[in-house]
Structure 1
Amino acid sequence: MNKSSIRAFGIALFLVGAMLALATRFDLNIGLPTKASSSEDNVEELQKKLEQANKEIALLKKQVTQSQKESPKKTEAKTKDNHESADAPADVTTMTLQIYSGITPYIVAQKLEDGGIIDNSVEMEILLANPKYARSLQIGSYEINSSMPLEEIAKLITGKKK
């Protein structure tokens, strides 16, 4: 090999390296195998988190019932309070939800939880990640209240028919 062919080979290697660096930098798919995170992986991860949270809730409920059995006097006072509050109408929280371009299901779910509309943002996030609603959030302003089921809220903000 002569000097000019070695130099040409070196320049070619440099250019290929630069092209790969640019492709990586600008996230271009140039036919190289990559591991892309699929929405199914995300949904499975969120479902596992939801199951764990539900287990924790069940454990806490069990602990509460055990502590109530140990102190029946306190329980009697609590049940009197519960009967009084059961006669009163349930408080319904209402909010206006703004959906803008580029908003994610996570942000929507967080807004609903922060507004007191839903108790668990993870459940709503999983519902919106469902293929039925995925990538269907409609830009706009929506009046939502806490008496609406999650499915109804999802249909409203995605424009899906019942």
Structure 2
Amino acid sequence: MMRDILRTLGASCILAGGILYFTTDNPEVSNPDVLQFQEEVNKLKSELAKTKEELAIAQTKSSAEKSDVKAEPEVIEDVVESILIIEGGSTSTVVATSLEGLGIIQDAKAFDDYLTDRELTGKIQIGEYLLNSSMDFQTISKKITKVK
């Protein structure tokens, strides 16, 4: 008897939920604020697309104008000078990354590979070194591997 009552109650809950699901209006579709927001979003998307097209046209014109103008020599960057501090336990990778961070070298991996190829990774000395960006890998490696 109790089993039949629980089955009937469960079936009626499922039936009521289904009726409510299919008969109530979707608030997202009928809410005027949501519809207005969706219209504004669509309007902004179309304006963005127009702006992208105009930008592409402007860039095309700009590159065409640049090809007509004779190229001027590039200005050489200023020399960056900095002090590199090498602490105990620093690996060649850490040193190379520090040099790149200071602006002394452009590519830390290339410098690390340079040190590895010449078997200088274990010869790096602890200390402070005044270096600048005009130095090549060989000059830098001589400074940081030389015993003081």
**TM-score by structure 1 length?**
0.47
Aligned counterparts of 2:69 and 2:82: Cα–Cα separation in 1: 34
Matched, 1:112 2:112: no
* 2:114 aligned to which of 102, 127, 144: 127
Gaps of 5+ in 1: 1-67
Distance between the aligned counterparts of 1:100 and 1:129, measured in 2? 19
- Alpha-carbon shift at residue 77 of structure 1 (Å): 5.2
Q: Which amino acid aligns with 2:126?
A: I
Which 4+ runs in 1 deviate beyond 3 A? 75-78
Which structure's CA Rg is the greater one? Answer: 2
What's the offset of the Cα at 1:100? 1.0
1:90-147, Cα deviation, whole Å (9 max, x unpaired): 4100110001110011111111111111111111111122343120011110001000
Stretches of structure 2 that go unaligned for 5 or more consecutive residues are 1-59
Give the equivalent residue in structure 1 for 2:66: 74
Percent identity between matched residues is: 33
Which residue identity does 2:66 align to in structure 1? K
Q: Equivalents in 1 of 2:100, 2:66: separation in Å?
A: 31
- CA 1:119 to 1:131, structure 2 compared with 1: closer, same or farther past 3 Å? closer
Deviation at 1:78, TM superposition (A): 7.8
Q: CA RMSD in A?
A: 2.8
Q: How many residues align?
A: 88
